[in-house]
Amino acid sequence: MSKTAVVVISLLAGAFFLAAAPAPFEEQVKKLDAIMEKCWSRHGLTPAPAVDDAGFFRRLSFRVRGKLPKLRELESFLADKDPDKRAKLIARWLDSTDFATLMAMRYADMFRIKSEFPINLWPNAVQCYHRYFYLLTLEDRSWKAVTQELLTSSGSNFRVPPANFFRANADRTPKGLAAGTALALMGFRTAALPADAQERFAAFFSRIRFKSTMEWKEEIVFNDPTPAVLKCATPDGETFTVDTARKDPRQVFADWLTDEGNPFFARAYVNRAWYWMFGSGIANPPDDLPLPRGFWQKLFGAEPRPNDPADEKLMAFLEEFFRENGCSTKKLCHLILRSRAWQSGWRPVSGTFAENEKYFAVYPVRRLESELLCDALSTLTGSYERFFSVIPEPFTYIPRGTPSVALADGSMSTGTLDKFGRPSRDSGILSERNSTPTGAQRLHLMNSGILYRQITQLPRLTFRGNLSWDRQLTIAYYSVLCRAPRKEERDAARKYHDKLPVNQRWRFWQELYWALVNTTEFSCHH
């Protein structure tokens, strides 16, 4: 046999074994599922069966795109017989501009992107900062590199987007800046520290200065160049002596935070990512985490808040995955979305809802965020909210048809968005977003005259050509609830329709759409 033939055979054999071997990512998915299965077994829980394709499609669309799926794309997905269609859809949507827009909204809440009081970023900086988060998500930049930029950037807050990290703080004292940094990037509240530890931690941010320019409302963020020697300490008690003539104290802190051995950096982000995908963190509240085990012993003499061993194991696995994959948001979200826990149904097999949701044996049912709910109504009716702001100057106008999820400015809102719990973005605390259902929300969905007029146009906008009654009913359910009507629903609808006088049966479709929009199923992640 010739040497060429041997080489060709060797290459083919190598390709075969590479193809046969499980992909590393698939192995990581299996490891995550195994961790969850051990957790469920330990607590005597049986995980819910996987959600069906229609439920998966709706859930993924809201969590990754912030959108109510349209009829045509949903039916196309349901008709697809590819066994890997879920994985392919996850990958495609994570690479979409819709995901970047939704993540920019989440970062805007997290980093207090708001023109007016008490943040006072003003419109130019708002647009600059919001666009920064949109682009870094689209490009899937390393969160480690982004964190370094946020902590160390100087310059105009209109022209250097990450310089707004410290600028977007209502309290710009060193203590206030330290508290905002700990909340956003470390997932804990500095109020948990003793007073002297708070002072030493705040020293890292004691040289940050702000100065105005000749341009309206522009500010320069910079590090005070006056030489000084600072005695600083990180929250775990590690001390640093910083000569500011040689080293920016912000850089010292950034290097400490993003170091491979630091237990704060990765765990804070993976817990938030889990919260974004599930509506509940591994540890809650997601921005007030239990302190790393043993980490605070020298400060408190005891663990101030015990950790759940199941939480610790899951968190440790996700932290390792996050670091090994270059602190990639998309890869982390892809792993979570592929997991059995995320793709499970929402009905418990045994036990209470609370117990099953705590350990993710079911998918947690949560109300849609205000922007997502308003945009879902807009997608249905074709009528989008109008957004504008006269104060502060300059006059800000958002083009008609802009979805609520794409709003950069937390100061621009509507009565509907506020009613459904849009956060004020004053503090950056996640609980500012209120997703608790209220009576006022129910009354709005049931009694709003504008919404009623929009919904009554749906049958005219949706039905085209000579469609059978059954097809019209299926279109209504797919359009609003993203599923086909069940037999009992179909029978009840037919019975009600046939009871109506013949000359009044056209009202049936308007009433049906109105009823579907007012269901909990429409207004919730599930």
Per-residue model confidence as pLDDT tens digits over 216-256? 889 999 999 999 999 999 988 899 999 999 999 999 999 99
Task: For residues 43-53, give the mean pLDDT.
Answer: 96
Say whether the peptide bond before residue 304 is cis (omega within 30 degrees of 0): no
pLDDT band (50, 70, 90) for residue 440: confident
Contact residues for 150 (Cβ-Cβ < 8 A; gap 6+): 162, 165, 185
pLDDT for residue 39 is more than 70: yes
d(CA 334, CA 88): 10
pTM: 0.92
Comparing 205-209, 296-300, 496-500, the range with the smallest average pLDDT is 296-300
Contact residues for 519 (Cβ-Cβ < 8 A; gap 6+): 481
Contact residues for 185 (Cβ-Cβ < 8 A; gap 6+): 147, 150, 151, 257, 264, 265, 268
Task: For residues 97-116, give the mean pLDDT.
Answer: 97
Q: Give how far Cα 189 sits from Cα of 175, 179, 180, 382, 416, Å.
A: 12, 7, 9, 43, 31
Cα angle, residue 307 at apex, residues 303 and 312 outer, rounded to 5° = 130
pLDDT band (50, 70, 90) for residue 265: very high
Average pLDDT score, the chain: 89
Cβ-contact 332, 25 below 8 angstroms: no
- Give pLDDT, residue 261: 84
- Give pLDDT, residue 105: 98
Q: Which two tokens stand for residue 62?
A: 């809201």
pLDDT digits (tens, 9 = 90+) for 477-492: 999 999 999 999 999 9
Residue 399 sits at φ, ψ, to 5 deg, of -55, 145
Cβ-contact 75, 352 below 8 angstroms: no
Interstrand relation of 155-156 and 219-223 (parallel, antiparallel or unpaired): antiparallel
d(CA 437, CA 164): 34
Residue 464 sits at φ, ψ, to 5 deg, of -130, 135
Which one is predicted more confidently, 443 or 395? 443
pLDDT digits (tens, 9 = 90+) for 446-476: 888 778 777 777 776 666 668 899 999 999 9
CA dihedral for 257, 262, 266, 268, sign (positive or negative) = negative
Which one is predicted more confidently, 148 or 191? 148
State the DSSP code for 191. G
Three-state SS string over 297-316 comes to HHHHCCCCCCCCHHHHHHHH
* Segments of 332-433 assigned E as strands: 366-367, 388-389, 396-397
The three-state secondary structure class of 337 is helix
pLDDT digits (tens, 9 = 90+) for 284-303: 998 988 766 655 555 555 55
Task: For residues 368-383, give the mean pLDDT.
Answer: 92
Q: In angstroms, how far is the first alpha carbon of the chain from the final one?
A: 62
pLDDT for residue 13 is more than 70: no
Contact residues for 424 (Cβ-Cβ < 8 A; gap 6+): 114, 410, 432
pLDDT for residue 434 is more than 50: yes
Cβ-contact 238, 263 below 8 angstroms: no
Exposure string for 113-140, b = 16+ CB within 10 A, e = fewer: bbbbeebbbbbbbbbbbbebbbebbbeb
pLDDT digits (tens, 9 = 90+) for 329-340: 999 999 999 999
Say whether the peptide bond before residue 118 is cis (omega within 30 degrees of 0): yes
Burial class of 245 by CB neighbour count within 10 A (0 to 12, 13 to 18, 19+): exposed
- Give pLDDT, residue 453: 78
pLDDT band (50, 70, 90) for residue 361: very high
pLDDT for residue 38 is more than 60: yes
Share of the chain above pLDDT 90, in %: 71
Which one is predicted more confidently, 424 or 446? 424
Residue 158 sits at φ, ψ, to 5 deg, of -90, -25
